[in-house]
Amino acid sequence: MRAFLFTFLLCIVVTPAFAGSAYDRVMKTQSINCGYGEWKPWVYKNLETGKMEGVIVGLVEELARTLTLKTEWPEETGWANLPEALRSGKIDVACSTMWRDPIRGKQVAFTKPLFYMGMHAYMRKGDKRFTGKIEELNDPAVRVVAQDGDYTYDFAKRVLPKAILVTLPMTASEADKMLNVTTGKADVMFYENVGVEDFNKNNKDQLERILFKEPLAVFANSLAVNITDSALKEMLDTAIEYMKDTGKTEALTAQFMEDHPNSIILPKKDW
């Protein structure tokens, strides 16, 4: 009996802190609590103004306005911590978007894509070994850096089985991948072009794109919610479709696409 009473009282104390879904919290507060991993120039905090900036920030804030909601960006969650932050209720939505892949799909539920993005291969500037042929990368003499549990790891294992894999933990940043190449710990990395452009601005153009005819892969970039929160996902999906169909997504990304050609692909209105 004492054990039962203790368990009952513990449930009374603990349950309110975790009661309700993210959808319930959003509806109650009329605000989306955004978690994010900083990703310049896509989503980041301006240290001078304290405001969130970037094309993804603009898309998410417009999405919230479409739903007559507000957004809150309390602190950077970090990429590796986003799934747990969603599960625990610390955040409502992973707002910096994620590339949709099966490993992440076991942990979170993805919305419809805001846009698509190509994945490219990069080497140290001046490395003459790579001329745009995949077999040049699939070689035991080539070290490919990839992040454990990430799309880059899956791609390297599947497409480049002969290459040596330099594995980084999920807590590593994209800058860590780039630095592994620039410092000679690895020879090749995979990433999108705008992030590398931003890195090169501050690092004397140390990375150079390997010129394949097409991106090595194209990934959907989506927001993410707790994997059990279907109501919130449905609400966000509706707003994403509305923004696409009314031309808002195209208008909000026009300047970014002009500044960074071939950086993103927008879903077509009839998709």
pLDDT per position as a tens digit, 235-267: 999 999 999 999 999 999 999 999 999 899 998
The beta strands (E) that lie in the chain are given as 31-35, 44-45, 52-53, 70-72, 93-99, 108-110, 115-124, 143-147, 164-168, 188-191, 207-209, 217-226
Cβ-contact 62, 125 below 8 angstroms: no
pLDDT band for position 190 (cuts 50, 70, 90): very high
51-87 pLDDT per residue, tens: 999 999 999 999 999 999 999 999 898 878 899 999 9
CA 215 to chain centre: 18
pLDDT of residue 269: 66
Domains annotated on the chain, with CATH: 21-116+219-259 (3.40.190.10), 118-217 (3.40.190.10)
pTM across the whole model: 0.84
H helix runs in 98-192, sequence order = 102-105, 134-137, 151-159, 174-182
Question: Count of CB atoms within 10 A of residue 179's CB?
Answer: 18
Mean pLDDT of the chain: 89
